[in-house]
Amino acid sequence: LLSSLFTVSAIAQQQPAAPKSARLTPRISVINAGFNGTITVFQSTAGPIVVDCADPSSAPAVQALIRAIDQRTPTGVILTHYHSDHVGAAATLAAGSTVFAHETCFASFKKQNPAGYESLSKVARLAPQTADDGKLDMGEDSIRLIHPTHAHSSGDTVVVFEKEKVIAAGDLFFNGVPPYIDVADGANTQLWADAIDRIAQQYPGFKVVPGHGPVTDTEGWKQFASYLRALRQGVAEAIKAGQTREQAQASVNLEQFTSIKDYGNMLTRKANIGWVYDELTKK
């Protein structure tokens, strides 16, 4: 668990880019803080809804960008999962709001970062979600929250803005880089890829905001699911052939996915192979 925390904060610290905001649809804007996180802002009739909160170091810059989009205090903040680069700035950005996340996400957040969880619960109302498929009614708008049980973590939420034709995928999507896979928290690459294909099939042509990387559409997201499937299949074959973790890292070939580029020491094919090896051999 310590190593997983270290990994996530190492990812967050790797690229301290100045956050930038861009309008995606008339009512949805995306704030990109590089590898410190992606934040989606939806201007619902009931007030702004913010998806994810970046890491703590980005809090002032991200808050200024949210206020420039909409001066009202966010009505709701949705956390896609508990990693520090998604919840770190929550105590600042979600002050005075209601925070929606799956109950498993809140549990992992509390366990991994008790102080951060405590500060958030002092300034915001926490609204744990228990259903695998839920809806939030915000004024005249309805937002769909999908919880794919085990994917990138065990408490992920995918947010669908049906009228706007936009999906905020959280870390079910790393666009352009190999993903972080939180095996210690119960990540499951099979259910992850299945969830992507299922949601993409239900919402063809929707724009997809990744947890990391540039905005694309459901076709781009499905390519990422193909990468996860090839990764899992390659590692399963290596295990079947009796290979060790290191041998699998040397033998499994994922070079056909040319649009996915290794990034730093953490977000690499080699790391992915190791994590999936751990996932498939976990007792």
Report if residue 102 touches Zn ion, rule: CB under 5 A.
no
Q: Cβ 71 to Zn ion, closest distance in Å?
A: 30
Nearer to Zn ion, 27 or 83 (CB): 83
Cα dist from 239 to 42, 64, 73, 231, whole Å: 44, 49, 51, 12
Site residues for Zn ion, 221-280, by CB under 5 A, read none
**Cβ of residue 170: shortest distance to Zn ion, in angstroms?**
7
55 binds Zn ion (CB under 5 A): no
Per the CB < 8 A criterion, the answer to whether 68 and 45 are in contact is no
Closest contact distance (angstroms) between CB of 84 and Zn ion is: 9
Q: How far is the CB of 224 from Zn ion (least distance, A)?
A: 14
Least distance CB 11 / Zn ion (angstroms): 8
The number of residues that bind Zn ion (CB under 5 A) is 2
Cβ closest to Zn ion, residue 181 vs residue 248:
181
Is residue 247 a contact partner of residue 238, using CB atoms and an 8 Å limit? yes
Give min distance, CB of 47 to Zn ion, in A: 26
Give the residue with the Cβ less far from Zn ion, 180 or 203: 180
Burial class (CB in 10 A: 0-12, 13-18, 19+), 81: buried
Q: What does the DSSP 8-state code read for residue 267?
A: B
Position 171 contacts Zn ion (CB under 5 A): yes
Residues 6+ apart with CB under 8 A from 245: 274, 277, 278
Stretch that binds Zn ion, among 23-31, 77-85, 109-117, 234-242 (CB under 5 A): 77-85
As beta bridge partners, residue 126 has 99
Going by C-alpha positions, the residue among 150, 153, 167, 183 that lies closest to residue 84 is 153
Q: Does 83 bind Zn ion (CB under 5 A)?
A: yes
CB 110 within 8 A of CB 177: no
Indicate whether 70 belongs to the interface with Zn ion (CB under 5 A).
Answer: no
Q: Which residue ranges make up the site for Zn ion (CB under 5 A)?
A: 83, 171
